[in-house]
Amino acid sequence: MPVISTNTAANTAVRFLNQNAASESSSLAKIASGSRINKASDDAAGLAIATKISSDITSLQQASTNATQAVAVLQTADGGASNISDILTRMKSLASQSSSGTVTDTERTYLQDEFSQLQDEVDGTASGTRYNGVSLLDGTSNFSTGVDVLVGTDASDTIQIKIDNLSASNLGISSLDISTQSGADSALTTLDTAISSVSSARASIGAQESRFEFRANALSSTEENLSSAKSSITDVDVAAEQANLSSAEVKTQAAVAAAAQANQMPQYLLSLLK
């Protein structure tokens, strides 16, 4: 029924104009931001999932850093243990020389001088092998009893670093004396045991280092996969959204034209009264 007091056609046209303009603005925001979800109403469930994934990715990135730092700790410890092993090898050489019957007691005294210096150097190396100011090999840090490193997104995702005490006293070297042939003979047995202990400690360090390296690789792979999953939820499909934008632009233009046409209808009806 034609009326002049209420322009229903114009109201309808304006309603569709607002809807199409909102769709156009939404598409422009998505294309400009590169994100499919700019507000919760865009995809409430997707936003919740993406937020959780983002949290996991952040945790994995830190876990990967933790694993890398753990490897650095173990590499530092292994470097110190290698030096101690070299020192013990030299000490064994001196003890072997002193144990020989061709060496006089005077010469054994000279050998003992170097031997004593090397005993002190074992402790010096053990205490001087530090990471972040913490000695790793002298048994004074928590590493001797075990330190848990977080390598995942859950508090239970840990790997323990444990480094043996390689101080001279713990290895049994500290009381050795090769100034006599009998002392040298005794030292050889103790040094063999000490060298074996250091080798065992280095094997343990190497095994832990290998585990952390594999875990770091796994963390990188998981982070990559989660990033891809998050992308599939939040990143905008530019081609599809551009098509939506083009459609919204056409509909907006059509609604503007329709609103203009609807606003002319009362004028047409008034012409009937002339």
Looking at the predicted structure, is the pLDDT value of residue 6 above 70?
no
How many angstroms separate the CA atoms of 191 and 173, rounded?
Answer: 7
Domain locations in the chain as residue ranges: 44-233, 237-274
| DSSP secondary structure letter of residue 150 | E
How many angstroms separate the CA atoms of 189 and 255, rounded?
Answer: 98
Mean pLDDT of the chain: 88
pLDDT category, 273, cuts 50, 70, 90? low
Looking at the predicted structure, is the pLDDT value of residue 40 above 70?
yes
Token pair for 234: 């939040």
Name the 3-class secondary structure at 146. coil
How many angstroms separate the CA atoms of 131 and 202, rounded?
Answer: 17
How many angstroms separate the CA atoms of 48 and 41, rounded?
Answer: 11
For residue range 142-197, what is the model confidence (pLDDT) as tens digits?
999 999 999 988 889 999 999 999 999 999 877 899 999 999 999 999 999 999 99
The H or E element spanning position 32 is helix 8-33
- CATH node for 44-233: 1.20.1330.10
How many angstroms separate the CA atoms of 123 and 116, rounded?
Answer: 11
Whether 166 contacts 135, CB under 8 Å: no
pLDDT score at 146: 92
Whether 168 contacts 123, CB under 8 Å: yes
End-to-end CA distance of the chain: 19
Q: How many Cβ atoms from other residues are within 10 Å of residue 243's Cβ? A: 12
pLDDT category, 118, cuts 50, 70, 90? very high
Which residue from 134, 132, 138, 194 is spatially nearest to 167, judged by alpha carbons?
138
